[in-house]
């Protein structure tokens, strides 16, 4: 990869809070957080940034495949916005890290679009600067 490149890994809120039902998923997502931070340190001198995105409850095919009908009906209601997010609501975080000049000083970090403010902050940054 050339200088100025950006690597963005996808992890999960479960890496930080745990999930007894999705233990293998949670463990691998936690490993991705550590990998992201280590790789960022390894590649910083080459001018390559490495960051991650750790979405909160996002409605994906994993949800109905993993949860009961009742769990699906309640999925996402535990966050302040009282709903699960959609993939389109996570996308601005990737755009910001991948292509905005204002993200050039960010490496080894994980953005958390999780039904609170981080999505809106990323979206505002994209609208303003990209």
Q: Provide the residue count of the chain.
A: 130
Q: Cβ–Cβ contacts within 10 Å for residue 125, how many? A: 17
pLDDT digits (tens, 9 = 90+) for 98-118: 987 889 999 999 999 988 645
pLDDT digits (tens, 9 = 90+) for 65-92: 988 999 999 998 888 888 999 999 999 9
The pTM (predicted TM-score) of the whole model is 0.83
Extents of the domains making up the chain: 6-129
Q: Which is it for the CA torsion 56, 104, 8, 30, positive or negative? A: negative
Closest to 102 measured CA to CA, from 126, 82, 121:
126
**Catalytic one of 16, 25, 105, 120:** 25
Burial class (CB in 10 A: 0-12, 13-18, 19+), 51: buried
Which CATH number does the domain 6-129 belong to among 3.40.1190.20, 3.40.50.10380, 3.90.1150.10, 3.40.50.720? 3.40.50.720
Phi, psi of 56 (to 5 degrees): -85, -145
Closest to 62 measured CA to CA, from 33, 28, 22, 92:
22
Residue 94 is a catalytic residue:
no
Q: How far apart are CA 68 and CA 65, in angstroms?
A: 8
């Amino acid at each position: 990869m050339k200088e100025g490149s950006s690597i963005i890994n996808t992890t999960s809120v479960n890496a930080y809070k745990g999930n007894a039902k999705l233990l293998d998923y949670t463990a691998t997502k936690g490993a991705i957080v550590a990998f992201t931070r280590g790789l960022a340190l390894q590649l910083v001198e080459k001018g390559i940034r490495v960051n991650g995105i750790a979405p909160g409850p996002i409605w994906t095919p994993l949800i109905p495949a993993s949860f009961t009908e009742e769990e699906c009906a309640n999925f996402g209601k535990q966050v302040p916005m009282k709903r699960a997010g959609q993939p389109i609501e996570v996308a601005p975080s990737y755009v910001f890290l991948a292509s905005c000049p204002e993200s050039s000083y960010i490496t080894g970090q994980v953005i958390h679009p999780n039904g609170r403010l981080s999505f809106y902050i990323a979206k505002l940054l994209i609208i303003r600067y990209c």
